[in-house]
Structures are given as C-alpha cells and as structure tokens.
Chain A
Amino acid sequence: MNKRILALALLLAMGTGLSAQVTEKPGFGKYALVGATIHTVTDGTIENGTVLVNGETIEFVGANGQVPAGYQRLDLTGKHIWPGMIDAGTVLGLMEVDAVPVTVDSDELGDFNPHMRAFTAINPAAVAIPVNRVEGVTTVISQPGSGIISGMATLIDLFGYSPDSMAVVADAALVLQFPTKGRRFGGFFFFGPPQTEEQIEEAYRNRIKSLNEYIAKARFYDGMMDAYEAAPAGKRRPDRDPAMEAMRPVVDGTIPVMIQVDREPDIIAALDWIKTQEGLRFILSGVSEGWRVADRIAAAGVPVVTGPVIGMPTRDYDVYSRPYENAGLMAKAGVMVALRTDDSENVRNLPFNAGMAVANGMTHADALKAVTINPATMFGAADRLGSVSVGKQANLVVTNGDLFETMTQVEHVFIRGRKIPLVSRHEELWREYRDRDATTN
C-alpha cells in the first residue's frame, strides 16, 4: 500500500518534471512575412517583399506588401528570407553518438544492400535534429555508407514525429560506393602489408565484376516481374526478392544512383562505367578531386554532390586551397553542384562551407543554388523544395544578414509551414548555464 502511494507520487513527480521540459510547439497557420529581402533563388531577389505562408505551402511571393486578413504578420524589415538549406549528404538521424556503435545505424553488413533504407532507421527524436535545423538547414539527405551498394538514401525535412512525416522523398537515391583503384591506407603495418599495383587492380576488377553482375541480375529480375505483372494470368508468380525489388525503380531510372567517389582515377572510371549502364540515372557524390576532371564531368552531364568544402587537400602536394575551390571550379565548368557536409551533428556548418566556396571563387549565386534548388532537383523534389516560390513547401529561413556569414543570426525557421521554435539542447544549456547559481556547487 505504502509502496503504491510512493510509486504514484514518484510517477506524478516525474510527470511534472517532464512537462516542464516539453519543447515549445511550432506555430502553424497563416503567416505574412513582410518587408524582407527575398532571395527566391529561381526568380531573382525581391527587395521589401512579402511572402505569404498558408498551412504547409507558400501562397504568395512578391513585392506587393498587401496582407490579407487572418494572417499573422511578421515585420521583417531589414531581414532576409532564403529557402531552407538542403544538405545533400549526411548521416543525420542515423547516428546519435559516433563512437558508441549501438547508436550508429548507417552501416549494415554485406556488400549489396539496395533494400536497406535510411528512411527506416531515421530517429525523429535525435538530439542533433533541432540543433541543426535552428541554424537554417531544413532538409537533408541522410544516407547509409557500407559495402558496395549501401542502401537507399532518404530526403527528409528536419521536423516531424516519424520518418513518414519527415520524408520528402523516402527513397531518394541508391548509394553506391564505387570500387576504388586507390589504397585507402598507405601500407601501415597494422592494416597488413602494402598492396601491390596488381593486387589493387585485381581487387578493383573483382568488385566491378560483382557490381555489374548484380545490376544485370536486377535488370533480369525487373524484366521478369514486368512480364509477369503485365500478364499474370496462368503464370506462376516469380519468387519475390526484397533486394531485387529495391533495385527495380533503380534499373528503370526512377531512383538515381548516387556514386560515392573521390579520387581522380576513380571519377574517370566511374564516368566510363556510367556509359555502360543505360537507363539508369546517376549522381556523383564526394568528388574531392572533381576539379581535376571538371570538364569531363560537365561533358558527361552528371550532377555532383561535393563537400565538405572545409576539408583537407587530397594530396600532400596540392595547394592548401584546393578543397575550398573544388565546388566552384566544377560549377564554373558547367557541372550542376550541390554541397554536403558529410556530417551528422554539425550539419549546421553547411552555410559556412558555402561561404568558404564563395571566398575561393564560386559565385554567391552558384553557392546558394548548391544548398537549395540544385539538391532539390537532383533528388526529385524541385516541385516542393529549393526556392521561395508559390506552391512550394514553406521551408524558409529568415536571417539578419548574409546566409553564409558565420556571425549572421537565424531569426525564424519554417519547415512545411511550421514556425519552428528556435530551441535545441545547445540553446537550452546556454539558457540554463549562462547565469548559473554559482553558490550551489
């Protein structure tokens, strides 16, 4: 009896403790964002403009300041409105603490895992999600990273209580770790003896061969299923294979293949290999040495996800600024470029990566596209994301200055029309400890 009362009291105490921590709910409804400079990305810049948000959607964008009745007005004179930024390569939501393996869900076992879906393992309650969205990154590609075919990357908005409600494109790209001709580690004793050139070449050939066979098998499976589905009458249904099922929208070109590739010889090999794979769509990702072969990439017409811009030169003898210049040099050559941080907890550094690219030759306009409309286009979401345009999802960032400047403050974030409270663990710790009672130590 006493125990029960105690337990009840405990429960109540816990309940009140928790309720004090419940995060402020986002606002939702009709908003009029008035007076800001609107960086539409696809339709130029509008000074002293108005954006109307109705529900999840952008309803109006223009210079006309008329605000209909029923809209909550935000006076944004002197502020800037940008599309929510899209990070085109992260593991956000798949990883909580990198060094604690049980919290890392990005790398499944096995070489061929097209049926492994990042979408499945996205943790909507990951602590890093609010930490990053309050800095203006509203959408990310979160991607698996093991084996040869790692699985499906997912394009998610950084707000929601389930992967289903966060997903913009649940299966946005098939991630392929392109077989490399390089040594990953230069023969340190603990990784075994250094490989010979012949061994490297052989390993490369074997991996390419198994990849080609896998895709050939998938094409066969797709054809077989297509034939059956077109005329099932009187036929036995072929055995279903989940991995092969996952390959069907890939081999018919619906879902693009995102090839992870960095080194110059590997990029060249990947571009050659792409030519042998008719009907499939491709994106290159990583592409650290893309500047060396920018013209070839442009000629192939393959879009590129690259980053982090803030990274090390790939070769000891490269000039220090190459990684900063890489994205800009590819864009200049005519490649469609999107940026990524390749990060999880610090995806919020995306704008600074863009800024660093601008400081090293990329135009501001190209860099802005690389974090908005370009990734939206690559991943099949250009009708919903990537610009401040009527009819698109209201993913918006309001700042007091240049989006890419470190010292700029993010003042409002909208994701699918939800006005996101600018609250995160980092900000909560700031509020708790900036004026800590110093007598209770």
Chain B
Amino acid sequence: MNKYLLLTFALAAGSVAAQPTGSVLVRNATVITVTDGTLEDTDILVVNGKIAGIGRDLPARAGVQEIDATGKFVLPGIIDAHSHLALASVNDASSPVTGEMDMRDVVDAEDIGMYRALAGGVTAIHSMHGSANVIGARGATLKLHYGQPAEVLLMPNAPRTIKFALGENPTRVHGQGSGVQPRTRMGVEQVIRAEFDGARDYRRARTAYLEAQRAWERNRRRGPAPEPVAIDGRKEVMADILEGKILVHCHSYRADEILMLMRVFNEYGVKNYTFQHANEAFKVAPELARNGANASVFADWWAYKFEVYYSTSYNAAILNRYGVNTSINSDSEDYIRHLNHQAAKVVRYGGASQEDALRMITINPAIQLGIGDRTGSITVGKDADFAIWNAHPLSIYAMAEMTFVDGVKRFDRAADRADQRLRVNPTDSFTPGTFATEHGRHEDACMEGVFELFATETHSHE
C-alpha cells in the first residue's frame, strides 16, 4: 500500500506517533549557546530529548551515555527556514492560489537529502511549496528524525505556515505560461487582495451561519433552518492567515514587491511574516524593521535571474544592522549541507559579529517558524537539537561529527556508512551515476516540478 495512504489512515485514526527522544551527556565542549554566550569546557545533559543541564562537571547519570567532546564545539542544530527536501512534490501550478493544499500531506520520509543535511549539522527544516503560485500550499516544519515515518518527522504543534510568492515566478507560470492573472506585479497584489477580501466575507458569513445554526438547534429547530454557508477549505486557510493563525513565508526578491506586501498586510492586519530570498530587502531594511518583518535570505546568490541582478552579498549584514530578524537559508539540497559556511559569509561581507552570524542559522530561523521557544539555542528546557563540530562552525574546515535531534543521535561521522539510503527504489535507474549536475544556483530550486509546463514553450515572443 502507498505510504501516503497509510499516513492518511494513521492521521484519520487520530493516532499520534510518539516523538523519539534520547538522553546523553556531552562532556567538556566549547558550547555556543547562541542566546547566552559561548561556554568553555562545558557539559550538556540531555534527558528524554530535552536539555536538562548546562555547566561544568555535571554529575554522571546512570544509564546515560557520555560523549567526550574535548576540543570540540557544540552548536544548536542548524534550522533551514527554506527547504524543499523530503517532499514528494513541490509545486502544484494548477492555479495562482492553492492555499488549501498542505505539504504535510506529501512528506517523503525516505529522502536521502535529510541524511546529508544532518551531516551538515541541520536538525530542523521548513519544507515549503514552490514559488509557482502567488499563494501556495502550507508548509511542513520537520525535525530530521531520518529513518522515521512522515508523521514522526512533522514537528508536533509547530505553527502552521504558508508559502506566498511574488514577482517573476508566479507571473511567468500563470500570466506568461497559462494566460491567467497575474502577468505583472500589479496583478500579484490584486490576487492577494481578492483572496483576503473573499476570505473575510466568507468567515463573516460562515461564522454568522454557524451561530444561526447553533441558535436554531438551541431553539429546537423551530422555524426555517438558516441557509447554509458551505465550508471552503481554501477560504478557511486565508481567513486563518488574517487571524494570525498561519505564518506567511513569502518568496520575494525586489524591494517594491516587499513594500507592496507589507502595505497589504498592514491593511488586513497580518503580522509576524517572513520574506524569503528577499535579495533586495536591504533596500527597505528600515521599513522591514518598522513592521517587525523577518527576512530569510541567501548569503551570496545573485544574478541567476533578472530580479536578483541588483543584489548584494551584504544583504544580511545590512538587515542585521537595522535590527531585522534575519536568517540564512539554503533552498537547496546542496547548500543545506553547509549553512555554517554560508553564515560565515555574513561576517566576510559586512562584518556582522560571529554571534549574529550563528544566530542567523539557529535561533533566528526558529523564530521565523514560530518554534524559537522550543529549539534554536542551547538552553535548559529546550529540545536537545544540536551538533558536535570538530572546529569552530564558522571555519571552512569545520565538519559536523555528530548531530542530535531531540537527544537522539541521527548522524555520526565515525559510524557513517557509504550507503545511507533507507530503501532502494526499484523504479530508479540502475545506470551508475545517472545525473544532471547543476552547480551554483542557475535555476530557481523553488520552481521544481514546474518546468515541464514550459517543455514545449518557444521563446519567440521574448
């Protein structure tokens, strides 16, 4: 039976899989807490998946394995606020708005990419819908319990998120590709406004109907029944966005479109959102700061398409100067494996402090995902998500040696096998090394699954 069907049944049955947790005592590490300074020769005690103690010479615990980390560094687990790993599909480009869809329904628990990310010290990822649609599907916040089924990967009670996308991708896919709005950045704004207006009206009507229905029931169904307002999955999601129950993560590049969305959000009362990519966020850093907006950016990617031509590798450093909560993301199965190096570029380009650079791959993305109170720093009471590094993680020579998720060791360089796949897919090609290498960032990773729409497209109209 199909694994997704199985998952559906499991969820329908209301069964919640137990979250795996572990206990461990790490000895004598240099502990980069991220939120509370860096502590030399320090132990970390983990009990049942939570950080239970941080200090020198912590007493041993019966039954708890000890790891000597003398000369090593402990960094909180890296969190990637922009990923497309572990998804069976990334884009559903059938409509400019697909908010009713949910990436949590298509989690692929066997993606080897998760193991490779663990090898780069990553413990949690935000796996999102692609950027084909102005309003895409909701995202999946995953803990990298590689080897466990999908329902265990989903971080319990993580806030819901949703993908928005502005600019070239939605206008190319829908306007240029299919002849439906939006074809322009003007159109993108109106698609969002139309959805929000419709959702507001819908919720008012639906709420009124439900109240009337309850009153009618209370009144022993006397008189005519109220006219039903049918439930609408997409509008429910939109209305929840307006009520602050879903965090918006918006693919965006240009300063003008970033300003546009903040204008719209202010009008409709949407708060607590994150601009993804946001290559030109540095141009409107004061406005972002004023609105309390977050930015999740690349360290240095630019010029792969026109809307990122006027970018700078100093983007994150500028945002940081203005106090914008900024994270460095990967949007890549490749770069997720060394986000620590990407963070080091924020020091190189613009002189951010090492502490701030490390915040950008740990606590800052955690805050953007609404899980900053549970992970993203080495703090007593938080989830035991961290990695042990053989050198300072901002060094190019640093490699993660062990990665723990909820106290469970999910990566150990010393015990690493050549083949870490969970299952060999019999439909995979057996040709050795079947691959198409694509280096750097030449295409939008977030356009995965869309390009077949253009397979027959000619460029005669350009």
Bound together:
yes
- Is A127 in the interface zone, CB < 8 Å from B? yes
Of A160-168, A210-218, A351-359, the stretch lying at the interface with chain B is: A351-359
Contact between B440 and A128, CB atoms less than 8 A apart: no
Contact between A288 and B394, CB atoms less than 8 A apart: no
CB-CB contacts of A403-441 with B at 8 A, as 1s and 0s? 011111100000000000000011101100110101001
Q: Complex Cα distance A355/B394, Å? A: 12
Q: How many residues of B contact A (CB 8 A)?
A: 69
Knowing A98-B305, A182-B431, A343-B439, say if A429 contacts B399 (CB, 8 Å). Answer: no
Q: Complex Cα distance A406/B287, Å? A: 30
Q: Which residues of A contact B443 (CB under 8 A)?
A: 98-99
Contact between B436 and A429, CB atoms less than 8 A apart: no
Contact between B397 and A358, CB atoms less than 8 A apart: yes
Contact between B440 and A346, CB atoms less than 8 A apart: yes
Q: Which residues of B contact A349 (CB under 8 A)?
A: 300
Q: Which residues of B contact A317 (CB under 8 A)?
A: 418-419, 421, 424
Of B52-60, B183-191, B307-315, the stretch lying at the interface with chain A is: B307-315
B288 to chain A, nearest CB (A): 11
Of B81-89, B174-182, B233-241, B340-348, the stretch lying at the interface with chain A is: B340-348
Contact between B440 and A341, CB atoms less than 8 A apart: yes
Contact between B341 and A406, CB atoms less than 8 A apart: yes
Contact between B314 and A434, CB atoms less than 8 A apart: yes
Contact between B432 and A405, CB atoms less than 8 A apart: no
Q: Which residues of A contact B433 (CB under 8 A)?
A: 182, 262-265, 288-289, 314-315
Q: Complex Cα distance A312/B337, Å? A: 9
Contact residue among B286, B300, B348, B439 (Cβ-Cβ distance under 8 Å from A408): B348
Q: Complex Cα distance A286/B318, Å? A: 36
CB-CB contacts of A304-346 with B at 8 A, as 1s and 0s? 0000101111111111110000000000000000000111111
- Is A109 in the interface zone, CB < 8 Å from B? no
Q: Which residues of A contact B462 (CB under 8 A)?
A: 101-102
- Is A300 in the interface zone, CB < 8 Å from B? no
- Is B9 in the interface zone, CB < 8 Å from A? no
Contact between A97 and B303, CB atoms less than 8 A apart: yes
Contact between B303 and A426, CB atoms less than 8 A apart: no
B405 to chain A, nearest CB (A): 17
Contact between A190 and B455, CB atoms less than 8 A apart: yes
Q: Complex Cα distance A345/B395, Å? A: 23
B413 to chain A, nearest CB (A): 8
- Is A186 in the interface zone, CB < 8 Å from B? yes
A417 to chain B, nearest CB (A): 26
Q: Complex Cα distance A398/B196, Å? A: 55
A286 to chain B, nearest CB (A): 8
Contact between B304 and A185, CB atoms less than 8 A apart: no
- Is A78 in the interface zone, CB < 8 Å from B? no
Contact between B334 and A310, CB atoms less than 8 A apart: yes
B175 to chain A, nearest CB (A): 16
Knowing A317-B419, A345-B302, say if A436 contacts B432 (CB, 8 Å). Answer: no
- Is B382 in the interface zone, CB < 8 Å from A? no
Contact between B439 and A311, CB atoms less than 8 A apart: yes
- Is B321 in the interface zone, CB < 8 Å from A? yes
- Is B157 in the interface zone, CB < 8 Å from A? no
Knowing A99-B304, A407-B344, A426-B314, say if A308 contacts B396 (CB, 8 Å). Answer: no
Q: Which residues of A contact B317 (CB under 8 A)?
A: 430, 434
CB-CB contacts of B433-445 with A at 8 A, as 1s and 0s? 1111101101100
- The chain B residue with its CB closest to the CB of A355 is B396
- Is B398 in the interface zone, CB < 8 Å from A? yes
Q: Complex Cα distance A308/B341, Å? A: 15
A256 to chain B, nearest CB (A): 22
Q: Which residues of B contact A318 (CB under 8 A)?
A: 418-419
Contact between B303 and A312, CB atoms less than 8 A apart: no
Contact between B333 and A342, CB atoms less than 8 A apart: no
- The chain B residue with its CB closest to the CB of A313 is B116
Contact residue among B305, B312, B399, B417 (Cβ-Cβ distance under 8 Å from A426): B312
Contact between A342 and B440, CB atoms less than 8 A apart: yes
Q: Which residues of B contact A426 (CB under 8 A)?
A: 302, 311-314, 349
Q: Complex Cα distance A430/B311, Å? A: 10
Q: Which residues of A contact B435 (CB under 8 A)?
A: 182, 262-263, 314-315
User: Would you list which residues of chain B between 283 and 334 have a CB under 8 Å from chain A?
Assistant: 283-287, 300-306, 309-314, 317-318, 321, 333-334
| Besides A98-B443, A346-B301, A355-B396, 8 other A-B contacts (C-beta < 8 A) | A96-B303, A99-B304, A128-B303, A194-B429, A308-B439, A316-B112, A359-B397, A429-B314
Q: What are 19 A-B interface contacts by the 8 Å CB criterion? A: A97-B303, A98-B443, A186-B434, A313-B116, A315-B435, A317-B419, A318-B418, A320-B416, A343-B439, A343-B440, A345-B440, A352-B396, A355-B396, A356-B338, A406-B394, A426-B312, A427-B312, A429-B310, A436-B286
Query: Which 10 pairs from chain A and chain B are nearest by CB?
Result: A355-B396, A438-B286, A406-B344, A430-B314, A99-B305, A345-B303, A429-B312, A263-B433, A190-B452, A317-B419
